Amino acid sequence: MSKLSVETTSTNWGSCIKLLEKEQIEGNVEIGIFTCELGKALERHGHDDAAEWCYILSGEADFDCDGEITHAKQGDLIYLPAHSNHTSYPTGDIAFSSVYIVCKDS
């Protein structure tokens, strides 16, 4: 057993806590928690050949994946396919937080 370091970064949309980076486990998965502040949005981005799953811990958000918008709230799980471009932003009256998992889509 070992204790791993956890990196927290601040961004212009909120914060991100990376629990596991791809480099730590042979490039296959990245896991973390992100919080998007009220009135902000994550930059539109993609993960090439990796898919992303987001489990909403708190708040509500809209996820825009290639122009298709899905509303999510606490307890919902969102799937963002590989090769897609996506963004998300809070839609309620508080920030939203999500656990995210990015890994190669087989």
Q: Report in angstroms the alpha-carbon separations of 24 from 12, 27, 28.
A: 26, 7, 9
**Domain residue ranges of the chain, discontinuous segments joined by +:** 7-104
Q: What is the pLDDT of residues 6-37, one digit of tens each?
A: 778 888 888 877 776 655 556 678 889 999 99
Return the CATH class of domain 7-104: mainly beta
Higher per-residue confidence, 69 vs 20: 69
Q: Which two tokens stand for residue 11?
A: 């961004």
Q: What is the pLDDT of residues 75-99, one digit of tens each?
A: 999 999 999 999 999 998 999 999 9
